[in-house]
Amino acid sequence: MNLKSDDKNFSDTFAEIDLKIFTKNFKIVREYARIKNRDTKICSIVKANAYGHGMNVMAEELSRMGTDYLGTADYTETASLRNYLDTKKFHKVPILCLGLITEKNQLTESLAGKNIEFSVADLRSAKMLNDIGNKLNRKPVIHIQVDTGINRTGIKAEDAYKAAAEIYKLKNIKVKGIYSHFATSEIPGSSYAGLQLKKFKEVVKAIEESILKFELRHISNTGGILNFSDGYFNMVRPGISLYGFYPDEKKVKHRIGIEPVMSLKSKIKFIKELGKGESISYGRTFFTNRRTRIASIPAGYGDGYPRSLSNLAKVFINGKLYKVAGTVCMDWIMADIGKKDKININDEAELFGRNYPAHKLAALTDTISYEITCNISSRVKRIYKK
Ligand SMILES: Cc1ncc(COP(=O)(O)O)c(C=O)c1O
């Protein structure tokens, strides 16, 4: 008999993904993005394993709820998602790959034969896709990526008009969209975002006036949706808000009722009593300041719980928060649970979630909630709550 190592019922540490909350978040974000225009399309971002939530399941839910597009980053992730959705009869939901295709190979050729749309950030890759289109006798669909100021990837705004004219001459690709990406949209009223928006509008206008009309124009991530309604155009690309977080918890101005989807949960596996002045865990970074009990929880940086949270974070047990005591290990976290509270072996410990949101952990280590959920490692089972 095979050992059932993947049986979710036997995992001490797991990520609970609440699909009801996810559905609610999607509907809230869609409604918000459609305030100005009921036809605004939604490209739901599911890259990086849906920010750690599990790409296939989340993309399937989004497809069921009627997302217009799904957004991925990496080509292998795009291929695997396309295969999955095709088996689930969602072959009609297009995937927009935000990553860049720079090489012609078997994978890129096979992607071009499917319902996948490509980001193009230079003429060279447009020509390559054009060659692939010629070979396959099927036009790859592209979105021109314009860099209006994030200075990451994309055709520079000032070169975009000329590039679009060249790209438009390539007859074996279909130019469907144009897009850009904000650098500071999480800041309400950001003048830099305003500048990017202005540049994008100018580029789109110039190209549309004399070269071609785009079916899709888009720039807004969650920050753009919340803070720059002028930037909706006819498609938006929300990511983090679908998973229940604001891009910057401190700066948020418009709360729209979204809630965290993921909770990282575990169980108390060991409890010991220690006298005053005893050290806990590697490096002896924590000393008990009284007689107390220490609970050991089988989760650590091997599960993606940041080691930098040692002696900083809290753990939610039976309705109360307790301090992480000592260095976070690869497989263990210890918490100082005091002498009095009723806590037993196998009681649940929430490392983050509804009672102690991931953005609080993020703030403790000067990062963002995106990084906390993305980093939950593959050994942590994702358990989907319907
Ligand atoms: C190009 C692009 N669009 C949209 C998003 C979604 O952004 P957010 O998760 O802030 O909504 C991202 C995320 O990093 C992105 O890189």
Domain assignment present for 41: yes
Mean per-residue pLDDT over the chain, rounded = 96
User: Residue 38 contacts by C-beta under 8 Å, 6 or more apart in sequence?
Assistant: none
pTM of the prediction?
0.96
Whichever domain contains 374, its CATH number is 2.40.37.10
- Quick one: pLDDT at residue 9? 61
Share of the chain above pLDDT 90, in %: 93
Domain assignment present for 253: no
Domain assignment present for 19: no
Indicate whether 297 and 335 sit together in one domain.
yes
Indicate whether 129 and 166 sit together in one domain.
yes
Q: Is 146 in the pocket of ligand 1 (CB under 6 A)?
A: no
The predicted model gives 103-114 an average pLDDT of: 89
In order, the DSSP letters of 343-373 are --TT-EEEEESSSS-HHHHHHHTT--HHHHH
Indicate whether 267 and 168 sit together in one domain.
no
How many CB atoms sit inside 10 A of residue 159's CB? Answer: 15
Q: Domain range holding 306?
A: 262-385
- Quick one: pLDDT at residue 128? 96
Q: Label residue 103 by pLDDT band (50, 70, 90).
A: confident
Domain assignment present for 293: yes
Q: Is 45 in the pocket of ligand 1 (CB under 6 A)?
A: yes
Report the amino acid identity of residue 52: G
Q: Is 4 a catalytic residue?
A: no
Q: Is 282 a catalytic residue?
A: yes
- From ligand 1's centre to the CA of 368, what distance in Å? 13
Indicate whether 166 and 45 sit together in one domain.
yes
Indicate whether 300 and 169 sit together in one domain.
no
- Quick one: pLDDT at residue 101? 87
Q: Label residue 8 by pLDDT band (50, 70, 90).
A: low
Q: Encode pLDDT of 163-192 as tens digits.
A: 999 999 999 999 999 999 999 999 999 999
Please identify, by atom number, the ligand 1 atom nearest to the C-alpha of residue 47: 13
Indicate whether 55 and 103 sit together in one domain.
yes
Indicate whether 270 and 223 sit together in one domain.
no
Domain assignment present for 23: no
- Quick one: pLDDT at residue 151? 98
Indicate whether 236 and 271 sit together in one domain.
no
- Quick one: pLDDT at residue 1? 57
Query: Could you give phi then psi for residue 168, rounded to 5 degrees?
Result: -65, -20
Residue nearest ligand 1's atom 5 by CA: 221
Indicate whether 213 and 356 sit together in one domain.
no
Indicate whether 328 and 190 sit together in one domain.
no
For the chain, what is the domain count?
A: 2
Please identify, by atom number, the ligand 1 atom nearest to the C-alpha of residue 241: 11
Q: Is 238 in the pocket of ligand 1 (CB under 6 A)?
A: yes
The predicted model gives 186-202 an average pLDDT of: 98
Q: Give the residue, out of 237, 245, 249, 359, with the most ligand 1 atoms within 8 A of its beta carbon, to mutate for a pocket test.
A: 237
- From ligand 1's centre to the CA of 325, what distance in Å? 35
| Residue 84, H or E segment | helix 75-87
- From ligand 1's centre to the CA of 283, what distance in Å? 39
Q: Encode pLDDT of 128-149 as tens digits.
A: 999 999 999 999 999 999 999 9
- Quick one: pLDDT at residue 7? 57
H helical segments located in 15-54: 19-33, 47-51
Domain assignment present for 28: no
- From ligand 1's centre to the CA of 64, what distance in Å? 21
Tell me which residue of 293, 288, 342, 290 sits closest to 311, measured CA to CA: 288
**381: which strand partners?**
14
